[in-house]
Amino acid sequence: MATTGLLFHLHPTAFSSARPQNATSRLHSHCPPQGIHAAGRRCLLRAKSSNGHPQIGASFSDGVLDGKVPGGGPPEQEGNTVSITVVGASGDLAKKKIFPALFALFYEDWLPKHFTVFGYARSKMSDEELRNMISMTLTCRIDQRENCSDKMEQFLQRCFYQSGHYNSEEGFSELDRKLTEKEAGKLPNRLFYLSIPPNIFVDVVRSASRTASSPSGWTRFIVEKPFGRDYESSGELTRSLKMYLAEEQIFRIDHYLGKELVENLSVLRFSNLVFQPLWSRDYIRNVQLIFSEDFGTEGRGGYFDNYGIIRDIMQNHLLQILALFAMETPVSLAAEDIRNEKVKVLRSMRRLKLEDVVVGQYKGHTRGGKSFPAYVDDPTVPSGSVTPTFAAAALFIDNARWDGVPFLMKAGKALHTRRAEIRVQFRRVPGNLYRGNVGTDLDMATNELVLRVQPDEAIYLKINNKVPGLGMRLDSSNLNLFYSERYQREIPDAYERLLLDAIEGERRLFIRSDELDAAWAIFTPVLKELEDKRVAPELYPYGSRGPVGAHYLAANYNVRWGDISSDGSF
C-alpha cells in the first residue's frame, strides 16, 4: 500500500525560522562557510559607514561574533557603544512598538553591553517623564528568567530625552552633546528611528546628519512607510534623503517583512525539496495574498484618507511578500543577493490596469443591536470621500516561471475577520481517478498550501484522503503546523527582529531604493487613474466579507478566494 508515500515529512524544524538562539546561526547570512568553520580565521563584513570607518558589530572570529559567544547574549566589546534615538518619541508608534521592542531585546540580552536610548520630540519632557511614559507599555512577556521589575528598571535608567524641533540643528546639536557624554570615549555608533510623518523626514535627516552623526563609527536611519504617494514623490523623497545620506545608511522598514511566517517563506521554499519542483506555473494555479482587519479607521481617517488601502497595504506589505514568494533562488542569503532577486520579480510584473482592480468602501451597519459607523462618518474624513478602504487586484509576472499565473491580492478594513495569509492553490490532478468521488466541483479537490501570517501563526497543506469506512468517500484534511502548539516560546514582534537587524547592519529585510521604484511603477498608473476619474468605490457593510466585485474579479481568472471556501478551512 502506498500510504507512506504521502508522508513527505513535514518536520517542524524544516518550517522553523524562529530567531536564532546563538550568534553563529545569525551569522550564516553574512559569512562564507570557510569564515565560519576554519579555525583561527576571521570573517569580516567590509561595509563602511558614511565616514569610511568599518561598521562595528559584524565580524566572526573563532566562534565569537564581536564578543558574542554561541549561545546568545550581547556583544562584550568594551570599546563600542550603540546610541538609539527614537525621533517622534511621544507618538503612538514609539510608545506601542519601538520602546517595547527595544526592551524585549534588552530583556533577552540581544542588545550590546553598552547602549543608550534617547527620545527626541517637540514635547517638553524630562528624562523621568519619558521613563514613566515608556514604563506604561513595557511587559516581560518572554521567558521569566530574571526579575521583571529589575530588568525594567535597568532598561529605563538607560533612557533619556531631548526636546527640540524637527528642523532644528540646535536641537540635534544638543542631542549630540548628550550622546557624546553617554558614549564616554567609546567608539560611537548611532541609530536614528524616524517615527514621524513623512513630510518631515528630510528636515530631520538634514539636521541630524549635519550635527548628530557619529564622528568615527556608523550612523544609520530607519525610515517608516509611507515612502511617498506615487512613483514621482517616492523618487523625490529618495533623492532628498540621498543629499545627506548614502543608500547604505537608509533602512526603509516594512514591519511585515519581520513577521515570523514571512521570514519562514524562503525557508519553506528553499530548504524543503518537496516544494522546489512545484514552485512554478506547471503546478500552481494561482496565488492569493489576503489581508483583512475587523475594524475601521477608528480616528485615523484623516491620515488614511490621504493614502487609501492600496498605498497603505498592497503596494508595500503584500507586494513585498509577493516578491519574496516569487523570486528565483538567490546566490546566497546575503542582503544584496536577496534584494537583487526581488527587484527582478518586480520589474517583470505588468503595470496594473483599472479593469484588474476592484475598490470598495465600508458603509454603516447594525448587527446584534450594535451600530457600526461608515467610513465617511469619521469626522476626520472629508465629506464625499471616495478613498477605498478595500481593494482587490489581479497581478501577473511575465517571466518563464510564472507566466499566466494570477497573483490575487485582497486587502480591506472593517471586514468580518482579522487575517493575513498567503494561499497557494495547485492545479487539478490530470486524469484524476477519483474525480467521481469528489463531487462536481473539482476545484474543491485541489491541494492548497496556506501560510497564516496572523493571527495564530500556522502553516497547513490541504490534501485529499479517504474517509474511514467500507465505501469510497473522499474528504479534504489539513496537514498542519500550529506555531503555538509546536513552539512554547512566544514569537518575537516584527519590530524586534528589524531593530536588531538595523543595529547589526543586516539589510536583508529592508527595502532598497530601486526596489521601491519598481514597486511604485506597478501601482502608480492605476492609482492616478482612480483619482483622476474619481472612481466611486463599491459600498460594503461594516463587518461583511467585502464588495461583491472582488468575487467577479477572481472569477474572471477562474479563481475562488480561498478564505471564503465552503470546506471550513481555517
Nearest to 302 by CA among 415, 413, 383, 204: 383
Instruction: Enter the C-alpha cell of residue 157.
Output: 535608567
Asked whether 362 and 540 are in contact (CB, 8 A), the reply is yes
Instruction: Enter the C-alpha cell of residue 470.
Output: 467500507
Dist. CA 108–CA 105, nearest whole Å: 5
Identify residue 232 by its one-letter amino acid code.
E
Query: Which listed residue (317, 365, 416, 551) is catalytic?
Result: 317
Asked whether 130 and 89 are in contact (CB, 8 A), the reply is yes
Taking the alpha carbons at both ends of the chain, their separation in whole angstroms is 31
Question: How would DSSP label each residue in 244-276?
Answer: TS-GGGEEEE-GGGGSHHHHHHHHHHHS-TTTG
Nearest to 423 by CA among 444, 448, 396: 448
- CA 552, 554, 559, 560 torsion: positive or negative? negative
Indicate the SS3 state at residue 427. Answer: coil
Indicate the SS3 state at residue 18. Answer: coil
Nearest 10 degrees: CA dihedral of 90, 93, 97, 100?
0
Q: Quick check: is 165 catalytic? A: no
Sheet holding 474-482, edge to edge: 474-482, 458-466, 448-454, 419-426, 284-292, 407-412, 390-395, 357-363, 538-541
DSSP class of residue 377? G
Nearest to 451 by CA among 281, 272, 310, 312: 272
Q: Which residues contact 155 (CB under 8 A, 6 or more apart)?
A: 102, 103, 106, 107, 117, 138
Nearest 10 degrees: CA dihedral of 250, 251, 254, 259?
170
Asked whether 111 and 105 are in contact (CB, 8 A), the reply is yes
Dist. CA 306–CA 312, nearest whole Å: 10
Phi-psi map region of 308: left, alpha, beta (phi>0 left; psi -120 to 50 alpha): left
Q: Which residues contact 7 (CB under 8 A, 6 or more apart)?
A: none
Instruction: Enter the C-alpha cell of residue 487.
Output: 513552539
Dist. CA 92–CA 499, nearest whole Å: 17
Dist. CA 533–CA 530, nearest whole Å: 6
Q: Which residues pair with 42 in a beta bridge?
A: 61
Nearest to 274 by CA among 15, 3, 569, 451: 15
Q: How many CB atoms sit inside 10 A of residue 396's CB?
A: 17
Instruction: Enter the C-alpha cell of residue 231.
Output: 512613483
Q: Which residues are catalytic?
A: 317
